[in-house]
Amino acid sequence: MCLAVPGKVMSIEEKEGTRMAVVDFGGVVKDVCLEYLPDLQVGEYTIVHVGFALQRLDEESARQTLALFEGLGLLEEEFGDQWELAAKAAGADQPADRPADEPGAKEARA
């Protein structure tokens, strides 16, 4: 599922001619394109969908939405460990082909 998720702009820079931001989604930090909101500033909140900031949002609405998404488990689904999520969906502890030294990997099953 792809959600439009609220996040806080932490920093802004131009990368290869494109205005980009580092956005914090309640602890998960991602790069986001600001081309649709060229006047968005550091410290403001935005709704992000598929890597693009689409709309400015007030802080209270952003916090309420993040709390709701977290309570429903949607943030984990959107941003969680994809190996772990796939394993859970398959009913396994860990995918068989997951590298043992990858962060979050569990001990191999006997």
Number of domains in the chain: 1
Written as one string, the DSSP assignment of 7-25 is: EEEEEEEEETTEEEEEEEE
Position 89 in a domain: no
Position 39 in a domain: yes
Strand locations in the chain (E)? 5-15, 18-25, 28-33, 45-49, 52-57
Position 49 in a domain: yes
Position 106 in a domain: no
How far apart (Å, rounded) are the C-alpha atoms in residues 52 and 35?
A: 8
Query: Which CATH number characterizes residue 38's domain?
Result: 2.30.30.140
Position 93 in a domain: no
Is residue 56 pLDDT above 50, yes or no? yes
Structural domain containing residue 43: 5-84
Residue with the bigger pLDDT between 77 and 67: it is 67
How far apart (Å, rounded) are the C-alpha atoms in residues 77 and 62?
A: 18
How far apart (Å, rounded) are the C-alpha atoms in residues 84 and 27?
A: 18
Q: Decide: 14 and 1 in contact? Cβ < 8 Å.
A: no
Note if the pTM is more than 0.85: no
Is residue 21 pLDDT above 90, yes or no? yes
**Whole-number pLDDT of residue 110:** 38
What's the rounded mean pLDDT across residues 12-35? 92
Is residue 32 pLDDT above 80, yes or no? yes
Position 78 in a domain: yes
Per the DSSP assignment, residues forming a β-bridge with 45 are 8, 57
Residue with the bigger pLDDT between 88 and 42: it is 42
**Whole-number pLDDT of residue 66:** 80
Position 103 in a domain: no
From 33-37, 87-91, 93-97, the region with the lowest mean pLDDT: 93-97
Centroid of chain to Cα 42: 18
**Token code pair at residue 30:** 């991602």
Q: Provide the mean pLDDT of the chain.
A: 77
Position 18 in a domain: yes
